[in-house]
Amino acid sequence: MEELQRRLRETLDVLSPQELSNFRAILKKVDEEPRVSPVQLELEGRTASGLAGLLAKHYYLQAAPRVLTKVLKQLPRADLLPRWQSDPTAYSQVIPRKILKRSFDCVENELDHYDLSGKRKAFLMCVKKDRPGSVQDIQRMEDWLDQCQFERTLCIDPDKKGLIDTLTVFRDGLNEIKDEIACCLVTLMSHGEKGFIKMKDGDKVSLEDVFEMFNNKNCPALHEKPKIFIIQACRGERKDNGIETDDEPMESDDISERRRLPTFSDYFIIYPTQPDHVALRHSRSGSVMIAAMTEVFKQYGNKWHIVDFFTKVNNKVVHTEFYLHEEPIKVSLVMESTLTRSVYF
């Protein structure tokens, strides 16, 4: 079984993060008994190594190559099939090097990731007033943006007019240098409630109004380019104390010649908690989500698609114990996406 697991790992290591995620989704539905359960995949199959071990243990020598072949055909990664179709016990086939970009012939002459070779622009807003730990959040976000090669605009402790005005200048700046822009990332860290963030004086700003400023109508510079929003703010006052479990380990026809886009597309928004719930921030160490982002990035860097990256961040947050006023409290990040390609920083 160790040799089988090693060979499975060699194949799975070739897959990009998005392909590995798709592999798990296909595996859930593959017609081979006994089927791998979603729980098993969540607990044991989050990494290439863990998934290889799960397949080897679950299907053994004869069935594992058959299952792997079925999944690779649907993925599709036909370049990985010969080693498993010809002779499951042969070890002489060469595994291709790991690639994050799919070859042109596999995806109809278009790459499956956004081109981020141009300028990366970031807007970083933080309300520090009455938010102990916010200084640490700012430093962590600045370090992360530097590592991801973003040019950033800072906006600290603004009032409502100050935020809107500064965001407008930032957005208009993107439109002025349209051809050089690769992507935009907006981080808003403050108090908040459902659908709003609060300024230092308590005034509220609608998140929908902020998102709208960068849509395809108002920001043509970002047509078909990723618009990332990181929101670190409460979304309500509800607190989730969690539950105790036994297994918790801590083309369509176009009548117009002019190509059109939806008003809102290529967005990715991450929230630190579910709707109506509080977000967590330590007075000394800063916000839970921002800290988890930093730790995951230190371990894995920028080799993951942003959705997979924040899935890993969420896994860390969900399986960490937090307390608020000596009561246990749990949070889960929420992702909203209209991305059409993968984002690799």
C-beta separation of 171 from 319 below 8 A: no
- pLDDT tier, 69 (very low <50, low <70, confident <90, very high otherwise): confident
* Pair type for strands 181-189 and 204-206: unpaired
pLDDT at 61 over 60: yes
For residue 193, the surrounding DSSP H or E stretch is strand 191-193
**pTM for this structure?**
0.64
Delimiting residues of CATH 1.10.533.10 domain(s) in the chain: 2-97
CATH class of 119-239+261-337: alpha beta
SS3 112: coil
Q: Write a three-state SS string for 139-180.
A: HHHHHHHHHCCCEEEEEECCCHHHHHHHHHHHHHHHHHCHHH
Each residue of 289-323: pLDDT tens digit? Answer: 999 999 999 888 878 899 999 999 999 999 888 88
Active site residues: 191, 234
C-beta separation of 224 from 165 below 8 A: no
Domain spanning 2-97: CATH superfamily: Death Domain, Fas (1.10.533.10)
- pLDDT tier, 201 (very low <50, low <70, confident <90, very high otherwise): very high
DSSP code of 75? Answer: T
Delimiting residues of CATH 3.40.50.1460 domain(s) in the chain: 119-239+261-337
Instruction: Check residue 229 and give its pLDDT.
Output: 98
Each residue of 216-235: pLDDT tens digit? Answer: 999 999 999 999 999 999 99
In the numeric block, the tokens 């690769």 are attached to 182
pLDDT at 243 over 60: no
More confident residue, 19 or 297: 297
* Pair type for strands 227-232 and 196-198: unpaired
